[in-house]
Structure 1
Amino acid sequence: MFTNPVINSVLKNEGGYVDHPNDTGGPTHWGITEKTARSYGYTGKMVDFTKEDAYLILEKNYWYQPGFDKVYAIAPVLALELCDTGTNMGPVVGIKWLQRWLNVFNHEEAHYADITVDGKIGPGTLKALTQFLEKRGTEGAGVLVISLNCSQGQRYLELAEGRTANESFVYGWMKGRINL
């Protein structure tokens, strides 16, 4: 069942049960909030929520639905970053960052055309990513991951500055999520 290496990595990073008083998401297990678990019909206590249940939700909502499986076929390291970011912040957030970075890395459209920043992995995003990697190679994939981490780190800073209770989490977010 646990055949997707990216989802397995996310599960490992998320860890087990957490119910921190400063977390607005409430009880969370394997990265799945109680609200999300309930939307899938789970009625038990979150402390008892299984890794198998989490895997199925993560694979559906944070892998296939946003199209990270398509990114994986082009750049596995980038798919891992996007899936992990998506689990933490929602898939649309990471996809928009990817689209924005692809647009500014296209050398004023000399390498490929700008794409719409819509938070969806569609043909335009996949084409731009492919063209970017054709130009920049493996190094380019690494630079994209670093770029996404920069955006994610900035977001964590804003979250902590905007709500002091988030200071409880910001060190762990940076340690566990930036530079996977």
Structure 2
Amino acid sequence: MSSVLEEALAFTLGNEGGYVNHPADPGGATNFGIIQKNLAKWNADHPELGFPASVRDLTLDQARTIYRSEYWRWDAIGDPAIAIKLFDIGVNCGTGTSIRLLQKAINLLVNPPIDADGKLGPATLGAANAQPPEALMQAICQAQKDHYQSLVASDPSQAVFLKGWLNRAARIPEVVHGI
């Protein structure tokens, strides 16, 4: 496994923590960032692995297995810090959202814009890798912040999470090992 993925796991687990079942969280019970619905889907797809039925009983190693398989999409991103940030957004918001936020971030930096379709194709990857990493990181952080604020604007019950989300949006991974 790549050292970038290991660093992404460490970064994201630092944001996620352990078991939580907040009544305002539409995702419901969560452990290590894995929601109950995603664990149930995983178990239906991989019954041979014998993962627990409840996220409450999920181990850290089991969460890592799910992350590696279901959330890591970033090998073609040239800058490791960008890859880690996108992985973290994908865990928090879904991988489709992380791709759309990357596309929105790119569109803050380029003209003409690319299509923000949530697909990680060659146009998105090429545009992402062509940007100066520091500028792209700042644009991703801004797109992430805007996303969280729009979530709260459309559903005020989510305001309880906004401070933590904005802190998460501001966090920039420090890459230790590189690629």
TM-score strictly above 0.5:
yes
Q: CA deviation at 1:161?
A: 2.3
Paired AA for residue 155 in structure 2:
R
1:162-173 aligned at under 5 Å gives the runs 162-173=154-165
Deviations 1:34-92 (A, max 9, x none): 111111114433222111111111111111xxx31211xx1111111111111111112
Corresponding residue of 2:120: 121
Paired AA for residue 138 in structure 2:
I
Paired residue for 1:88, among 86, 89, 92?
92
Residue ranges of structure 1 left out of the alignment (5+ in a row): 133-139
Distance in 1 (alpha carbons) for counterparts of 2:86 and 2:63: 18
Q: CA deviation at 1:104?
A: 4.5
Distance in 2 (alpha carbons) for counterparts of 1:168 and 1:2: 35
Moved over 6 A (4+): none
The 1:158–1:2 alpha-carbon spacing in structure 2 relative to 1, beyond 3 Å, is same
Distance in 1 (alpha carbons) for counterparts of 2:2 and 2:23: 31
Corresponding residue of 1:46: 55
Distance in 1 (alpha carbons) for counterparts of 2:124 and 2:155: 33
The 1:81–1:46 alpha-carbon spacing in structure 2 relative to 1, beyond 3 Å, is same
Q: CA deviation at 1:105?
A: 2.2
CA contact (8 A) 2:104 2:143 kept: no
Distance in 1 (alpha carbons) for counterparts of 2:33 and 2:82: 20
Distance in 2 (alpha carbons) for counterparts of 1:51 and 1:124: 35
Q: Count residues in correspondence.
A: 163
Corresponding residue of 2:10: 8
Corresponding residue of 1:69: 75
Pairwise CA RMSD:
2.1
Residue ranges of structure 2 left out of the alignment (5+ in a row): 44-50, 173-179
Question: What's the TM-score, normalizing by structure 2?
Answer: 0.80
Q: CA deviation at 1:20?
A: 0.6
1:121-160 aligned at under 5 Å gives the runs 121-132=120-131, 140-160=132-152
Distance in 2 (alpha carbons) for counterparts of 1:163 and 1:169: 11
The 1:2–1:45 alpha-carbon spacing in structure 2 relative to 1, beyond 3 Å, is farther
Q: CA deviation at 1:2?
A: 9.7
Comparing both chains, which one has the higher relative contact order based on Cα–Cα distances under 8 Å and sequence gaps of 6 or more?
A: 2
Corresponding residue of 1:135: none
Identity %: 31
Q: CA deviation at 1:174?
A: 1.2
CA contact (8 A) 1:34 1:46 kept: yes
Deviations 1:76-128 (A, max 9, x none): 1111111111111111222122223324423x45xxxx543322222222222
Q: Secondary structure at the match of 2:13?
A: helix
CA contact (8 A) 1:99 1:115 kept: yes
